[in-house]
Amino acid sequence: MNTTIDAGRQRSVGGTAVSDNTGSPASACDRTPLPALPLAPLPALLASALTDTNPGSARPPGPRMNAWLESGATPVADAGVLGSLLGALWRAGAPHRTPDGAESSILRRPIPSAGATYAVHTHVVVGGDRVAGLEPGRYVFDHERSQLLRRGDDAECATHTSDSRGSEASSRVIFSVQPGRSFGRYRHRAWPLWIADTAYAHEALAFTLDRRLRSRLGPSAELRSELGVPRGSETAAWLDRGLVPEIPLVSIELPERLHPDPIRERALARRRSPAIAEYLRNPVTSGEAVRVARLSAQPWVAHADHVHGWSISPRATASQMYAALWHAHRAAARMCYLSARSGRRRCRPVSGFAAQSDTWMMHAVAILEGATEAEEPAA
């Protein structure tokens, strides 16, 4: 059985025990259908993400956004409440700062991202319900321009997929990842971070709308068909369109009428992870925080007032591991966003743990009590 954090508890996710000390009720993601995955241990290449092997120096991560506009997509003149909603999720703020205090070229976003790599991209498939008054079809939201674009009627890369535009009554948001964004920095450790960043985006959407949303997890042929794209591994098909590969990871059904909660939108907008320097000014009072700091090899974590963590056996099957990663990161995201709404505590996600002999801590959240916020470095 897995070691728990702060006298936590275990629950079954995907048929295996996951230690979870959040004290929160079972989440909807525990019941979200999973893609077909092998009932066998992780392949060696994927299992290397659980090791302490150094990723090495960073490599070029690829573009921050795909060039959909240049490949034939057209700006939507009035995206209405949908454009406002997506803008609230990804609106750019001040630049991240490096540990020495200098401004970086990366702008902060309401949704956190491992290493500020921002691998997640946002797509919308408008169905027969014509959400926000939009015509049925495929759309993509450009985070850099804060602009909704309608993809061309020729359905990019459609020769590699079936065309499902508007075939469903309900409209959907599909979050994909541009894998190079995380891989450039984290290499073999990147794939769990693709799930992490997407899970935080999923929960930000649900948090802003203040409702539970039905979703389907990928990667799968079904999600690629919804989005009208080839496999991420079919690089030539992407590059021929002037695009880099994306991997659709979750398709989320939107309500027919969108009513973002303005209080939650403001909470998300002001949410920022506390600066590491702010943790270091805090006295060490939690033995569990010290233990998690040691496991993560990140000394600042020891200064957290509280730490919540999620663990699983490193011998879990691929299917169990995938389900547990989604569960952990969605639960962590809810904790971060609800803390921002309360204004009584601040949270910084913690990743990058190496597996121990009997447990792997997939993710943790380091919490500081109080409402004072400081600027976050690029981490």
Q: Is the pLDDT of residue 26 over 80?
A: no
> Are 291 and 345 a contacting pair, CB within 8 Å?
no
Please give the model's pTM, rounded to 2 decimal places: 0.88
Together in a domain, 309 and 189: no
Per-residue 3-state assignment (H helix, E strand, C coil) for 65-123? CCCCCCCCCEECCCCHHHHHHHHHHHCCCCEEECCCCCEEEEECCCCCCHHHCCCEEEE
Indicate the pLDDT class of residue 154, thresholds 50, 70 and 90: very low
Q: Point out the domain boundary residue: 266, 289, 304.
A: 266
Together in a domain, 150 and 275: no
121 occurs within a structural domain = yes
Together in a domain, 289 and 261: no
User: Which of 298, 291, 276 minimizes the C-alpha distance to 378?
Assistant: 276
The enclosing domain of 118 has a CATH number of 3.40.109.10
336 occurs within a structural domain = yes
> What tokens appear for 312 in the block?
């699983």
Identify which has the larger pLDDT, 56 or 106.
56
The pLDDT of 53-70, averaged and rounded, is: 90
Range of the domain at 19: 9-31+271-369
Identify which has the larger pLDDT, 34 or 166.
34
Together in a domain, 119 and 175: yes
Taking the CA atoms of 14, 193, 199 and 215 in sequence, report the sign of the dihedral they define. Answer: negative
Question: Going by C-beta distance under 8 Å and a sequence separation of 6 or more, which residues neighbour residue 108?
Answer: 92, 93, 94, 95, 96, 116, 272, 376
How many domains, the chain?
2
Together in a domain, 216 and 334: no
pLDDT digits (tens, 9 = 90+) for 284-338: 999 999 999 999 999 999 999 999 999 999 999 999 999 999 999 999 999 999 9
36 occurs within a structural domain = no
The pLDDT of 73-82, averaged and rounded, is: 96
The pLDDT score that the predictor gives to residue 77 is 94
Q: Is the pLDDT of residue 7 over 60?
A: no
Question: Going by C-beta distance under 8 Å and a sequence separation of 6 or more, which residues neighbour residue 267?
Answer: 337, 340, 341, 343
Which amino acid, 296? S
How far lies 365's CA from each of 20, 309, 329, in Å?
A: 12, 6, 10
Together in a domain, 155 and 85: yes
Q: How far is CA 205 from the centre of its chain?
A: 11
- CA dist 175 and 123 (Å) reads 6
Mean pLDDT of the chain: 85
pLDDT digits (tens, 9 = 90+) for 171-228: 999 999 999 988 888 888 899 999 999 999 999 999 999 999 999 999 999 999 999 9
The pLDDT score that the predictor gives to residue 31 is 61
Together in a domain, 207 and 297: no
Identify which has the larger pLDDT, 313 or 24.
313
Together in a domain, 287 and 162: no
